[in-house]
Structure 1
Amino acid sequence: MSQSKILLASKLLHELYGEVVADIATHLMKFGPRHLKLISEKTKIKLEQVKKGIGILIQHNLIKFETSKKKPVMEYTVDCDRVILLSRYPKYIYCAKTLYGDAAELLVEELLQTGQSLMSESTERVTERLNEALESTGNPKITTSLVCDKFSLLVNTHFLRRCSNSVYDANERVIGYQEPLERDKLYILPNIEGSVKRKRLSEESTQSNKRLKTGSEYTVPDDGIYWMINVDRFHLYYRDQLIIDSVNNKIDQKSSEIIRSMLRLSEVKTEPMSTVSAPMTLAEILQSLPNELGMTKHILEQYLSILAEDSFLCQSHVESVVQERFGSKCLRIFRVLLLKRHLEQKQIEEYAMVPTKETKEMLYNMLAENYITITEVSKTVDHAPSRTFYIFRVQLEHVSRMVLDHCYKAAANAISRRQMEVNKHKRVLDKQERVDAIIASLEQSGADEAQKQEIRETITPPEAEQLEKCRNTVNMLESSELQIDETIFIIEMYLNYHLLHKAIK
């Protein structure tokens, strides 16, 4: 695990869950599995605080734990890849809103905030939030059943899933989690029809899967069935959108619509990291295509023969990095090496049409930055330079990993710069927040415009200028974070599938 990745994960945790949680997680990411007392001793954090911090990380599915093989103690490990996904939470929420509307947006937001939740609890809270918003605008309230329908839709399309089953020891203590053997069981909805009122649990209850300790506590119809966001499903959706866009750019709109239909047919049937989709017939594809395309069976067969899988998306991002870092002529050389695989300097000069002096300089610059590699092939045993071939090549996997590490570092730097900008203008931002709160209370009490204007004028022109500058900078940095995250997603997806292909071969 690279230091840049750990730094980015640490900053994301610090921003969302505070310093204590970030310190605990950073320690575990650096040193691997450790038990509570050792974490407390090494981080100088009180044991009670360590327990609370670990509890937060478990609640948000950011940590794994299992009994140590050497000692009878529980050891904890932070899932760094999962922590990095904290930066994608706004994308998940926006995706749910785009696909299924406001109720789905709030459900996804609720589950991201709580980490894990019962269906009955999350639907109740979302219904309350929606009804508050509807009441303030004078619209009629909605029932919980409508929100339950949206929840069911998200589960049926696999955007939500059940949490893993708890594994207990002889003393009824949770010692780990276990995925069900059949993946379909992750998407079985509980029966919470009718009343969702809480019922008192009797002292004689022996249901071990419930997290209740005494008979004085309450339960609900779906007690013990916790739900979480299925990040893999969101990633598949983003992957599919990237594939559709790239096919549209490389071929045409009709081919992208064919790909869209094929991906939609197989979206819930295909395993998350499968290198191929679920099988489908030509008739199924033809039937699912929009009528306005005017697609016939013969034309569809021709399009399907054109469409092929490659590493175009990742390669295009790496190429853009090369162009920004070294210039357009270096990009030309880089593309030639990608196309021809192995070339000598003289061959590169001919194919790229770049003068000898410039070619030498550019190859050296890219070699120094590890964007290309060189292999010596000697004619004789003594490896004399005059009798040795020097072959240049591009290892896309290696370059992708290097660019990915740069992206982690850039994302961490963007977060640090944004936090510094906010802290720098904290006084003015707090003042603006107080002014907004006063104006909001005046609006509720029915105050006139003159009073509100008087409050607004407490922000002086220099302060207003500072606020505008701060907002623009923060917006620019947040936009940069989103763009970097998109590049991270594409490169990680390429590397994951690349490893799968190598394993299959």
Structure 2
Amino acid sequence: MADAETVRLCTQVVHSHFGPLTTNIATALLHRGRLSFPQLLRYTRLKPRTVRAAILVLVQHNLLWHAQTEEEGEVLEFNTTECLKRMRFGRYVWLVENMFGNAAAEIVQLVLDHGKLRPLDIISQLSIYDPKNTSVYSQALYKLVSESYLKPSTLLSHQSPRDKRIKYEAEERAKLTGFPTARELREAKEVAEARLKREEEEAERVGLKPKPKDQLNHRSSKKKVAEEVVDDDVYFRVNLDKFDVHIRNKLIETAVEERFNRYAVVVMRATLKATESKQKSLSDARSDPCSTNAIVMHIPDDEDLSAGLASNSKKPSNASLVRQYLGLMASADNPTPAGRAASFLSHSDNKVYVEFDIISRRLRRRVLESVARERHGEDAVRIIRLLLDVGKMDEKQVAKVAMMANKDVRPLLSAMSSDCLISTQEIAKSTDHNPTRTFYLWHVDLDRAYSTLLSSLYKTLFNISARRQAEQEEPEIRAVLAKCERTDVAQDEKLLTRRERELLSEWKRRREKLSVLEMRVEEAVFILRDFAPGRNSDE
């Protein structure tokens, strides 16, 4: 089950998207965990027909998982990750519009609105008002499917990954004889993960089918386009992980610009572009290898990379400049653990890798430090950095190494501990655990700190949405918005009085501020929750 703040935010998202009846089903599942249909009837006190309709809506929008148990039969589980990602739907549409144009954006928006659709339904709905654009929508749909922005919705995608992972691990452990070692258990877990990933990849290959022989265009130079078409019998859903990859890459580019300059961003963008087709999810610790020549090919011709480096020699070639930028971002001048922790790239046998894991650790640590700075000042950041670099320390050691007075360190450590930014480790001198004979060592438990910060950010997102809704429900604002919906007022705003125009302008300004704040908080949520290679999406 999710924590309290996650439940509140998910409930609010479901209520705003689907209404109060569906919210009752989601609330029961969020508070009580997985439930069967009779249990949902008992806890929600709704009619069976209403519960079935709400379940169908949530399943259609990929918010419910199915699971089969021996005790209770079929049970339902709420997918909190999918629900929280619904807050990024506007950004997903904006991304696809910038990459593929308006037709692709309309397709993605339509699929997001309906959860999952077949190609014939997509084309027919979008071509109602403009039948001449059918071919444009068909080409955009093929582009989205072939590049994995739309993926097939199969039976496997409606089952909880956690259940399948536990089942596969149990099957692998049953093959072991005797008392299994830690290495054997780890290998069994890896085999189960590989099996689950292989099944998901095989299930997602059904989106394209060979083109009929009578429609093949042998003159086409693009063999894949000529021989494959989108399968009309398959239901497609939006691949949210693929869009999250673009958000992650944009965060990396922003971090590079803050560290170096915009010309280094050009090189980093080209490096990410060289392997973008193989970036399917955020679980990879590093990118696929790419060569320097491949990076040079993705750099625009009008970019003068030499402007970002200080050099007295003549203008070198682009390949030479790219290698210099890659060396800077790989911290080649600092081959120490500290240099590696500050790097963006790595070199190996003339191959370049983008180190997603290292970058994510650094960005998450920066979020932690920014929160500590905002709540407790610069001294708190100094203590956190000290504990992360040195490890566990007692209060006197912290004061001594950080060069702070004991009277200032003690309340600061207590305040940071109450916010779960730092933790204590008790080491008792005796078996009775007497506090007077116990050492208390301070340290930073990153998992606990990140979990607490994530819960706090969920609370902030909930408050922002509640504030926006409360301001919209004010009597004066509600009256002005109702008047703006009239056809004559929509065509001519001069029909509004001066007072009404001022109220509308002030409401739009406040709403814009809340939207900007929501985007900033959502970016921090993305760094802490999604941009963490190696973590399972269902955890």
Q: Counterpart in 2 of 1:428?
A: 479
Q: Counterpart in 1 of 2:223?
A: none
Q: Counterpart in 1 of 2:315?
A: none
State the Cα distance separating 1:349 from its structure 2 match: 2.8
Report if aligned partners of 1:10, 1:26 keep a CA contact under 8 Å in 2. yes
Q: Give the Cα separation in 1 of the matches to 2:27 and 2:118.
A: 30
Counterparts in 2 of 1:440-451, with a 5 A limit? 440=490
Unpaired segments of 5 or more residues in structure 2? 159-197, 216-229, 306-317, 332-342, 345-357
Report if aligned partners of 1:163, 1:186 keep a CA contact under 8 Å in 2. no
1:163 aligns with 2:153: yes
- Say what the alpha-carbon RMSD is for the aligned residues: 3.2
Amino acid corresponding to residue 208 of structure 2 in structure 1: I
The sequence identity of aligned pairs, in percent, is: 23
**1:258-294 deviation per Cα after TM superposition (whole angstroms, max 9, x unaligned):** 3322322222324521222223334433444445432
1:402 aligns with 2:392: no
> CA 1:283–1:467 in structure 2 vs 1: closer, same or farther (change >3 Å)?
closer
Q: Which of the numbers 479, 482, 485 marks the counterpart of 2:519? A: 482
Tell me the SS of whatever aligns to 2:278: coil
Q: Give the Cα separation in 2 of the matches to 1:382 and 1:9.
A: 45
Report if aligned partners of 1:123, 1:144 keep a CA contact under 8 Å in 2. yes
Report if aligned partners of 2:96, 2:104 keep a CA contact under 8 Å in 1. yes
State the Cα distance separating 1:386 from its structure 2 match: 7.7
Report if aligned partners of 2:35, 2:76 keep a CA contact under 8 Å in 1. yes
Q: Give the Cα separation in 2 of the matches to 1:149 and 1:49.
A: 39
Q: Counterpart in 1 of 2:167?
A: none
Amino acid corresponding to residue 111 of structure 2 in structure 1: L
Paired residues, number: 441
Which shifted more, 358-367 or 400-409?
A: 358-367
Unpaired segments of 5 or more residues in structure 1? 132-140, 169-177, 196-220, 444-451, 501-505
Report if aligned partners of 2:284, 2:534 keep a CA contact under 8 Å in 1. no
Q: Counterpart in 1 of 2:290?
A: 280
> CA 1:19–1:385 in structure 2 vs 1: closer, same or farther (change >3 Å)?
closer
Counterparts in 2 of 1:65-464, with a 5 A limit? 65-71=66-72, 73-128=73-128, 131=130, 142-165=132-155, 180=200, 182=202, 185=205, 187-188=207-208, 222-272=231-281, 273-291=283-301, 292=303, 293=305, 294-296=318-320, 299=324, 302-303=327-328, 305-306=330-331, 307-308=343-344, 309-310=358-359, 311-377=361-427, 389-425=439-475, 427-435=478-486, 437-440=487-490, 456-457=494-495, 459-464=496-501
Report if aligned partners of 1:192, 1:222 keep a CA contact under 8 Å in 2. no
Q: Give the Cα separation in 1 of the matches to 2:515 and 2:46.
A: 32
Question: Normalising by the residue count of structure 2, what TM-score does the alignment of the two structures yield?
Answer: 0.74
State the Cα distance separating 1:318 from its structure 2 match: 1.5
Amino acid corresponding to residue 408 of structure 1 in structure 2: Y
Q: Give the Cα separation in 1 of the matches to 2:211 and 2:273.
A: 28
State the Cα distance separating 1:479 from its structure 2 match: 2.6
State the Cα distance separating 1:26 from its structure 2 match: 1.2
Q: Give the Cα separation in 1 of the matches to 2:26 and 2:115.
A: 16
Report if aligned partners of 2:154, 2:203 keep a CA contact under 8 Å in 1. no
Amino acid corresponding to residue 275 of structure 1 in structure 2: A
Amino acid corresponding to residue 75 of structure 1 in structure 2: V
Q: Give the Cα separation in 2 of the matches to 1:13 and 1:421.
A: 20
> CA 1:186–1:420 in structure 2 vs 1: closer, same or farther (change >3 Å)?
farther
Report if aligned partners of 2:242, 2:279 keep a CA contact under 8 Å in 1. no
Tell me the SS of whatever aligns to 1:143: helix
Report if aligned partners of 1:428, 1:463 keep a CA contact under 8 Å in 2. no
Tell me the SS of whatever aligns to 1:399: helix
Q: Give the Cα separation in 2 of the matches to 1:228 and 1:252.
A: 38
State the Cα distance separating 1:81 from its structure 2 match: 1.2
